[in-house]
Amino acid sequence: MAGWFLKTLKFLELWGLPFLLVVQAFLPPALIFGRLLPHLLSKTYHVADGDDEHWVNEVPPEDRRHGVTAAILISVFFAVTFLLWVPAVVYALWSWHVTARFRPLDNPPRVADTMQVQKAGDKKRRFCGLCNVTKGDRTYHSKQLGRCIPFHDHVCLWWAGGVWLENVKAYLVFVVFLTLYQVYCTVVAIWVLSIPDNRNSNPHIALGVLSGAMAIYSFLIAMRYWFSLVACNALEFDTLAPERYIWVNGRTYTWHTKRMEESPWNLGWSKNFRLIIGPWWSLPFFWTTTPLMHAAGQSPLRDGLLLPPIPLQNLAPSRRDEARSTGSDVGVDARRRSTLTPRHSSSRSD
């Protein structure tokens, strides 16, 4: 009994939201184009005068004009929201289940001047024992695909697929326009219910409740991922470990991932946007190649991580003279020394 119950739960967890998403794609257009538009454009006109309710054949011309305007607005808003979220999610699904599954794994050089490392103070890239590969920055192992995926953010329950380098833009477009679409469907359902003929229409009541609940859920999801990805440039996978380590100019930067905004790749929301999405006007073109894809998922580090030059007056007098006479070598050496991680400096003094 318990096994059966767990199996059902697992099934619902995997397929419940995708099923609701399919309902969202087909039910509203059926009701809008089947009921609402014919009503707005019809030649008959409902008159309720106390107990006397009847239909007359001719709509007054000004009412018919309003009906046509409303029908055009409804159709345009439907087209804009529907034609962005549906193709975006289809593209994201394809990108995950086909491209990410079969594309050869990235194989970065074993060491670089700046890179994500496994441990503080250790100049070694992270290694995946399951795939037997060296991992590039922000490449994480996906259990669903059984391989390492660059810029892997999370697996989305809405469409049972993962967000990664090549569909992150489509995903961000999807969550925004899905939310707008659901708000719109809620408004339309309430509107149709206000038409006397449809007052007790069960499909419309179901649509109103479903869209309203799903709009709230999608709005929260959209806020969460636009904040982490665009405002902070922090992946959900980045934040699964309490600390991440970046080797930069001979020292380790430790990122405490609870503070998402301190992500070493956070360039500020405007630069993050241009990196992950491209220019603002390219937002609806969710299939285009983004600057992040050109860089194979390697975002540049933010400026604060690169070490500030050490002013000469902070050096001891003899070293200051040496620095003056020999140029930058001493400066670099001193910079390295002064920026060792605390663990290192204590082990040196021992």
Q: DSSP assignment of 170-217, as one string?
A: HHHHHHHHHHHHHHHHHHHHHHHHHSGGGTT-HHHHHHHHHHHHHHHH
Q: Is 131 in the site for Zn ion (CB under 5 A)?
A: yes
Residue 126 touching Zn ion (CB under 5 A): no
Helix (H, G, I), strand (E, B) or coil at 117: strand
Cα separation of 57 and 42, whole Å?
9
Instruction: Give the shortest CB-334-to-Zn ion separation in angstroms.
Output: 40
**Of the candidates 25, 70, 86, 128, which one interacts with Zn ion according to CB under 5 A?**
128
- For residue 130, state whether it binds Zn ion (rule: CB under 5 A): yes
Cβ of residue 140: shortest distance to Zn ion, in angstroms?
Answer: 8
- Residue 145 engages Zn ion in binding (rule: CB under 5 A): no
CA distance 161 to 168: 12
Task: Tell which one of 148, 172, 178, 248 touches Zn ion (CB under 5 A).
Answer: 148
Tokens of 214: 């799903």
* CB nearer Zn ion, residue 108 or residue 208: 108
> CB of 151 within 8 A of CB of 164?
yes
Q: How far is the CB of 144 from Zn ion (least distance, A)?
A: 12
Q: Which stretch binds Zn ion (CB under 5 A): 20-28, 124-132, 167-175, 280-288?
A: 124-132
Instruction: Provide the angle, in degrees to the nearest 10, between the axes of the packed helices 2-31 and 61-94.
Output: 140
Interface with Zn ion by CB under 5 A: which range of 128-136, 172-180, 199-207, 235-243?
Answer: 128-136
With the C-alpha atoms ordered 257, 262, 263, 268, is the resulting torsion angle positive or negative? positive
CB of 308 to Zn ion, least distance (A): 37
Residue 234's region, left for phi above 0, alpha for psi from -120 to 50, else beta, is beta
Distance (Å, rounded) from C-alpha 37 to C-alpha 299? 48
Q: Which of 141, 152, 204, 244 binds Zn ion (CB under 5 A)?
A: 141
Nearer to Zn ion, 148 or 192 (CB): 148
Q: Considering the complex, state which of residue 148 and residue 277 has its C-beta at the smaller distance from Zn ion.
A: 148
Among residues 148 and 232, whose Cβ is nearest to Zn ion? 148
Q: Which CB sits closer to Zn ion, 70 or 128?
A: 128
Q: In the complex, which residues of this chain contact Zn ion (CB under 5 A)?
A: 128, 130-131, 141, 148
